[in-house]
Amino acid sequence: MEKLLYPLWRPAAQQVDAFRDALLAGLCPQLAARDDIHGLRLCVADSAVEPAAGRRMENNPPLPDAVLSLWVDSAGDCARWEPAIDAAVSRRTCYLVAEAEPLVNQQAHPSAPGERVYGMCHVVFMDPPAGLEREQWLALWKDSHTRVAIDTQSTFGYRQNLVVRALGEDTRPCHAIVEENFPPEAMQDDHAFYASGGDDEVLREHATAMFQSCERFIDLARIDVIPMSEYLFKAL
């Protein structure tokens, strides 16, 4: 089985919440009903995450308005479902990814199919710094940073998507895409974001440890961070 991540852009005349509603009411049920799509998740930058605007980082505009995740038998069959996606958006790109899930969100805050997942989801597009060898980058990210990220933040869901292939001519090069679930308080409150328990010293320690770990393996001048609402429409 393969996982596909589709960044989606809304039609210019459509507001973000209308775009979300159209995807949830039209595209997602249509795709979820297909036998050749085994899992479906939608993340969308809607009004529910507007309080998290200060956490958004935009280095490669225009950033997508939504990200659709599909689990399929073969990415080579994409012509079967992509016309439906194209009909609902102004633009889409696609990544074939290898997913790891160090922290499974359904264990902490379960949601019914199609129901908004608790809190917010940070969707992060990232690349390594220039000159960092691939194996070293993977070791820093997967073998070292994973524990730091879990220990210094209030995440209750954490998915790491290693890009295998960028599919389509207009898909920007990207090495990895991360999805992190945070409680709603973390949208604006740094203590809630960094799981400090309200202690200023712990906040400084966690924020510093997280930044120092990230700068080892992420090109911070190219990173994109998009707070989104998440909907798990069809679980594997």
| Domain annotation for the chain: domains and CATH numbers | 2-234 (3.30.70.100)
Mean pLDDT across 2-29: 97
| Distance in angstroms (rounded) separating the CA atoms of residues 8 and 24 | 13
| Predicted confidence (pLDDT) at residue 186 exceeds the cutoff of 90 | yes
| Band of residue 107 on the pLDDT scale cut at 50, 70, 90 | confident
| Band of residue 204 on the pLDDT scale cut at 50, 70, 90 | very high
| Predicted confidence (pLDDT) at residue 106 exceeds the cutoff of 80 | no
Closest CA to 46 of 18, 6, 26: 18
What stretches of the chain show up as alpha helix (H) in DSSP? 16-22, 28-32, 82-88, 134-138, 146-152, 190-193, 200-217
pLDDT at 168 (0 to 100)? 84
